[in-house]
Structure 1
Amino acid sequence: MDADREAIEIAEQKRAALAYLTEAWDEAIAEGIEPDILAHAALFTALADLIDTYGEDAVADLTVSLPDRVRRGEFTLLRTVQ
């Protein structure tokens, strides 16, 4: 598989994964789960899975960059321009 085809396949998998997670998120909210509780559970699950795959040191290194990425708006869905 060439690099371009692999990149397209990864992008498609990311879109599908986000669609599945968004659907599950919406269902949980509809069932009365508070968004902040759901977010904490999702973060725990994601970090635990990454640790299983890459190990604690690699995940710790990854999380060091999160504050700057959050401040840059990488995870902000609705932006307010002033």
Structure 2
Amino acid sequence: MDDLSQQETDELRVQKREAFARLSAVWQDALGAGIEPDVLAHVALFAALGDLVATYGETAVADFAERLPGRISSGEFTIPLVLN
């Protein structure tokens, strides 16, 4: 990988970490306000899929969604439990 591609990859990784941290903070705030976790999850999925459809179109998002069961089953979305 050339230096520019590596730099873009590093920048994307930083953006993803920052986005996850911000969403996690908002998620915790919503939980603290009494919103149930499953309600949050459904609304977040709806918002995310809606944004993806607006950006990439229904066909591309449907193709993406078809691959989700395998990715979920392989643990890609399992968040490690952190004990303090």
State TM-score, norm by structure 2: 0.89
Partners of 1:49 and 1:59 in 2: CA distance: 10
User: CA offsets, 1:4-26, max 9 Å, x none?
Assistant: 11111110000000001000000
Matched-pair identity in %: 51
Aligned to 2:60: 58
Partners of 1:75 and 1:29 in 2: CA distance: 20
Partners of 1:13 and 1:5 in 2: CA distance: 12
Aligned to 1:2: 4
Please state if 1:41 is matched with 2:37: no
Aligned to 2:24: 22
For structure 1, the 5+ residue unaligned runs are: none
Partners of 1:35 and 1:68 in 2: CA distance: 23
Partners of 2:30 and 2:75 in 1: CA distance: 25
What is the CA RMSD across the aligned residues, in angstroms? 1.3
- Displacement of 1:78: 3.8
- Displacement of 1:63: 0.2
Residue 29 of structure 2 aligns to a residue whose secondary structure is helix
Aligned residues between the structures:
79
| Runs of 4+ in structure 1 over 4 Å off | none
For structure 2, the 5+ residue unaligned runs are: none
